[in-house]
Structure 1
């Protein structure tokens, strides 16, 4: 590929077409494992992995994605930051970096909830500009390029634009949360916000897809003893913001990726954008009160 520039929308569209194809291939691999049809047989679960269980499905999908992307995008111009191959603590030197989670929601994959996803994002100088989130069990992918909006594509090839809800008071909003991963501090925070209801969904990609589908409006990440990683957020962020939502740290600043430390410490607010600043302020104030006690 010729030298890529952030201003070239046609190039971003061409890149996105390739990534969409790769994402569909990745969903087929994951589904073959999920349904027990893969040649390798049952899930090869390694519970000793520091950051959670890893399966043969993670590794096979990761290998496929990297092989396909590196065939089209040279490692000279493009860096690669993947959950399954990440090593070291230095930022990747290239301006253009692929940020990949081949299987977001491994625990949900193992537990057969169906709420797992594939995240592939291309970041330029630490900010996502192309993204796909594939949700295999719904047979959909959500894709976006910076400045071009977000679209949903079905396995049958139907493509349509998608946009977040317009619900505009906290009391009308639906919060989406994990069934687990909530420490006492986070539980107190979400209980302090008067949401209309709560949806429990696995995988960050699946959570954000419920905001695109207007079933939910708000997702909050709050680090505790551990923190989410770059590959959890880069692709979900862009599909949300290009669909009209907002995705920031609690202080309103944009989330930065490829900083060396891949962990995203602190608080991150993702929403339909209607009450975003108010939610950030209330979250910051509530946490300050909780921490003083």
Structure 2
């Protein structure tokens, strides 16, 4: 498959995963705890199955939060791989605040070259591809299945969007604020004077930088590869960067340790 075809498969798979999530979201759902005590719902499981069904025909292996036990010896041989989080922001889902996403990335030799993030509650689809740029499509579900990428591009808004003059804006996690992040914010105040803070859940923080709504997203707290790969694919495609604070280079994926280092996203 060509890269555009793979992008289209990822977009459709993310939407289908989102549809499964909304069926559970609109019902009385049960919550169980994973081994690390983070919540898991029927929505995670059903979205995972829908996405795996969509990506299966690409013949590209998948690393997913719901299938993360693949040995490094096996996946280290993968030149191309999908990295999937079927429901990013399960805590936001449980709180019913709408700030959760479906994340799908295509990674080539450690670098995200396609990123797709779907927001089921608002029906907003973000996507980016190396060489194509990044786009935001509102009301994705009204596009009647969006039969071609060209229709999506026509319906979408290219990122970053034009912004009115505003203060330097930092986006942070609604659920995690470390002392190091607070120090970054204080340093920004000294450099830029007035600053604005936006709090968002899940991978929407990376989308805010890609949109141009925020200038920086410092994440000095734990995340996993599937939390960030899709967002980085979108940020990279619009010309931004996600810098690993340990290597001071662009963050790479399919590492032996799937826990990310601290990172900084800028546009």
TM-score range, shorter chain: 0.7 to 0.9
2-structure distance, mates of 1:44, 1:53 = 10
**Greater gyration radius:** 1
Establish whether residue 216 from structure 1 lines up as the match of residue 214 from structure 2: yes
2-structure distance, mates of 1:66, 1:207 = 25
Matches within 5 A, 1:43-192: 43-50=29-36, 52-70=38-56, 72-74=57-59, 78-88=60-70, 90=72, 92=75, 93-153=77-137, 154-157=140-143, 159-164=155-160, 172-192=167-187
Using the size of structure 2 for normalisation, the TM-score is 0.85
1:137 aligns to what SS in structure 2?
coil
1-structure distance, mates of 2:15, 2:50 = 11
Tell me the C-alpha RMSD between the 2 structures: 2.1
Post-superposition, which runs of at least 4 consecutive aligned residues in structure 1 deviate over 4 A? none
1-structure distance, mates of 2:71, 2:13 = 28
1:143 aligns to what SS in structure 2?
strand
The structure-2 alpha-carbon separation of the partners of 1:51 and 1:248, relative to structure 1 and needing over 3 Å to count, comes to farther
Q: Which has the higher strand share?
A: 2
- CA deviation string 1:143-165 (max 9, x = no partner): 12111101222322262242226
Deviation at 1:173, TM superposition (A): 1.6
Number of positions where the alignment pairs a residue of Structure 1 with one of Structure 2: 247
2-structure distance, mates of 1:259, 1:161 = 33
The structure-2 alpha-carbon separation of the partners of 1:15 and 1:232, relative to structure 1 and needing over 3 Å to count, comes to same
Deviation at 1:51, TM superposition (A): 5.7
Using the size of structure 1 for normalisation, the TM-score is 0.78
- Answer whether contact 1:211 1:217 (CA < 8 A) is retained: yes
2:159 aligns to what SS in structure 1?
coil
